[in-house]
Chain A
Amino acid sequence: MNDAPHPPAMMLFDGPTSQRGYAFNRFAKTLTRPDGRAAFLADPRGTMQAMGVGETEMAAVAARDWTALLACGASIYLIAKVAIALGLTLNHVGAQMRGESIEDFDAAIRARQA
């Protein structure tokens, strides 16, 4: 994982993606306010439903399936806010997207520390 062996697989966060993910992203943006975080933690599903978040996205949040959220047009920066609100870190998101345990992912990052 040190020297990029190949161009990374990526999704382009473009206009249609942003439009597709708009409701989820708008909900996740409320997590940049204390009242938004409190509402989400008190009632995750109810809070998302009230903001028009779709069933697929709500199920993905419940399952901590960040890869599925990405496919729904979620911005990685807003996915990170959901993860952090739930007590996780960006590394947890990364490990799940790579299909690795958090321990393996953290160890791989540590291995390249220089």
Chain B
Amino acid sequence: MGRVIGGIGCSHSPALAGIHDSGKRHLPPWQSIFAGFDAAKEWLSAARPDLLIVCYNDHLNHFFFDSYPTFALGVADSFPLADEGRPTRAFAPLPGRADLGWQIARSLVAQEFDITICQEMPLDHGVLSPLPLLTGSPWPVPILPLAVNVVQHPLPTARRCLRLGQAIRQAVAELDDAIRVVVIGTGGLSHQLHGPDFGQVNPAWDLEFLDRLGPDPDGLAALDHGAFMRRGGAEAVEMIIWLIMRGALATQIREIHRTYATPALTGLAVCVLQNS
């Protein structure tokens, strides 16, 4: 009975958090991307979601390589902020909906997505960089976080991410109540964070990705990790997380908003897709 009404793809660079918290969003290099987040925030507020499913990756702030899940769903009524190795930001814990989380988890496993289920899941900048820009705080909407391994190879394929999104769409449709869901995918866009090409971005690839996300998710899902990494940089492989969001949407979608900029180390984007 639930329904996915749209999706947001956005970057989660810690720079977004730093600029937001230091009140520098109106400085010229940052103005446009923050205006883009404002537009997404306006759409999200008008969409009146009951739940945000936030697909992201943890950066060794919660999970470690002792036991590293490929897909992990946070099923809890509250999610603390992870300690990222510096003073934690001044936000309250994020509200969850464990009841909806269990329903989604049951459906995903029944659809043969054998996710790890976490009743404690501190959240890092993969969620916390963009979320204040999309909803404001105090947090108005509960979230269901889904962490994806894009750090330690072997990673799930881009195709697997797209299919997981399709399974999420089905799981939402099976919810007991008429819950309105927006799915958010975070990460990217292009960035290379190690070696002699540290800091390299590729706007041409980023814009191609954004152009194809709506009409050609299957084409993007057919790319292997090497293709994502050669074009966007090694760490930009996290762009596959956006395909979970895309998979949760209808075949025919409309791009409501898009902003792209490169004010710092990474290609930064925010886009809103709505089922048409």
Q: Which of B72-80, B134-142, B199-207, B242-250 lies at the interface?
A: B199-207
Q: Of the candidates B85, B151, B264, which one forms a contact with A109 in the assembled complex, judged by CB atoms under 8 Å apart?
A: B264
Among the 9-residue stretches B1-9, B46-54, B187-195, the one with 4 or more Cβ atoms under 8 Å from chain A is: B187-195
Any B CB within 8 A of the CB of A3: yes
Instruction: Find out whether the CB atom of A105 lies under 8 angstroms from the CB atom of B202.
Output: no
Cβ proximity bits A37-56 to B, threshold 8 Å, 1 near / 0 not: 10000000000000000000
From B64, B85, B193, B202, contact of A84 by CB (8 A): B85
Does A64 lie at the interface of the complex (its beta carbon under 8 Å from any beta carbon of B)? no
- Known contacts A15-B153, A25-B65; decide if A8 and B86 are in contact (CB<8 Å): no
> Within the assembled complex, what's the spacing in Å between the Cα atoms of A31 and B65?
15
A64 CB to nearest B CB, Å:
15
What chain B residues lie within 8 Å of A28 (beta carbons)?
A: 60
Q: Is the CB of A113 within 8 A of B154?
A: no
Q: Pick from B84, B198, B229 the residue with the most CB of A within 10 Å.
A: B198
A90 to B231, CA, bound (A): 22
A112: chain B residues at CB < 8 Å are 201, 262
Distance between Cα atoms of A90 and B192 in the complex (Å): 12
Grouping DSSP codes into helix (H, G, I), strand (E, B) and loop, the B interface class, with mixed when no group exceeds half, is loop
Shortest C-beta distance, A35 to chain B (Å), equals 11
CA–CA, A9 to B190, complex, Å?
Answer: 14
Question: 8 Å CB contacts to A: which residues of B173-214?
Answer: 190, 192-205
Q: Tell me if B82 counts as interface (CB < 8 A to partner A).
A: yes
Q: Is the CB of B265 within 8 A of A113?
A: no
**A68 on the interface (CB 8 Å rule)?**
no
Of the candidates A10, A81, A97, which one forms a contact with B229 in the assembled complex, judged by CB atoms under 8 Å apart? A10
The verdict on A90 contacting B193 (CB below 8 Å), with A12-B153, A98-B199, A108-B199 known, is yes
Chain B 75-112 interface mask (CB, 8 Å, partner A; 1/0) = 00000001111100000000000000000000000000
Interface presence of A63 (CB below 8 A): no
1/0 per residue, CB under 8 A from B, across A9-25: the answer is 11111110010001001
Q: Which residues of A contact B152 (CB under 8 A)?
A: 13-15, 18
Q: Which residue of A lies closest to B64 (CB)?
A: A29
B20 within 8 A of A: no
Of A11, A81, A85, A109, the residue contacting B195 (CB under 8 A) is A11
Q: Is B261 an interface residue (CB 8 A)?
A: yes
Query: Is the CB–CB distance between A94 and B198 below 8 Å?
Result: yes
Q: Is there contact, CB below 8 Å, between A9 and B197?
A: yes
Q: Which residue of A lies closest to B194 (CB)?
A: A76
**What is the 8 Å Cβ interface bit string for chain B, positions 247-276, against chain A (1 contact, 0 not)?**
000000000000001111100000000000
Set of chain B residues within 8 Å of A37, measured between Cβ atoms: 85
- B195 contacts A10, CB within 8 Å? yes
Interface residues of A (CB under 8 A from B): 1-4, 7-15, 18, 22, 25-26, 28-29, 31-34, 37, 67, 70, 75-78, 80-81, 84-85, 90-91, 93-95, 97-99, 105, 108-110, 112-114
The interface of chain B, by Cβ under 8 A from chain A, is: 14, 28-29, 59-61, 64-66, 82-86, 151-154, 190, 192-205, 229-231, 233-235, 261-265
Pick 20 A–B contacts, CB within 8 A, sort by A: A3-B204, A4-B201, A4-B204, A8-B192, A10-B233, A13-B151, A25-B64, A29-B60, A29-B64, A32-B82, A34-B83, A77-B59, A77-B60, A81-B60, A94-B198, A97-B194, A97-B198, A110-B29, A113-B28, A114-B261
